[in-house]
Amino acid sequence: MKVLSSYQDGKLTLHLKGELDHHEASAALRKIGRVLDDYLPQDCVIDMEGLTFMDSSGIALILKISRLMTETGGRAWVENARRQPLRVIDASGIDRMIKVVV
């Protein structure tokens, strides 16, 4: 998978692309940790438009991003998730802990 980022007016958008599983998750998290440190954004959008597959490793990653953002007084939320990642998000119930914009 790939993680691209864009930044505007205090809002960092993480564009996740490809398949997010255990094999890909640790490299993705390292990259995201670096970008968050660089920008220290107020808001962080996890944009899943390009994400074609995600399993519970993605759930852990979303929760981790949310935690990192809360630590620095910011917020994170999920946008543009396709059907399969959305079904995993629904089944895990994390939409009670993080906003999921559909």
Partner 1 sequence: MKQRNYIKMEFPARSVNEGFARAAAAAFAAQMDPTMDVLGDIRTAVSEAVTNAIVHAYPDSAGPVQMRLRILEGDQLEIVIRDRGRGIPDVKKAMEPMYTTGGEERSGMGFTIMASFMDSLRVRSSPEKGTAVTMRKRIRTKAEE
Ligand X SMILES: Nc1ncnc2c1ncn2[C@@H]1O[C@H](COP(=O)(O)OP(=O)(O)OP(=O)(O)O)[C@@H](O)[C@H]1O
- Binding residues vs ligand X (CB under 6 A): 56-57, 60
Report yes or no: 65 and 43 within 8 Å, Cβ to Cβ. Answer: no
Report, in Å, the least distance between residue 91 CB and ligand X: 11
CB of 21 to ligand X, least distance (A): 10
14 - beta bridge partners?
5, 46
Residue closer to ligand X by CB (options 6, 30) is: 30
Q: Shortest approach of ligand X to residue 56 CB, angstroms? A: 3
Q: Where does this chain bind partner 1 (CB under 8 A)?
A: 19, 21-23, 25-26, 29, 53, 55-57, 59-60, 63-64, 83-84, 87-88, 91-94
How far apart CA 100 and CA 30 sit, in angstroms, is: 23
Q: Judge whether 13 and 6 are in contact, CB under 8 Å.
A: yes
Nearer Cβ to ligand X (49/90): 90
Q: Which two tokens stand for residue 3?
A: 């993680």
Q: Which residue has the tokens 């490793």?
A: 57
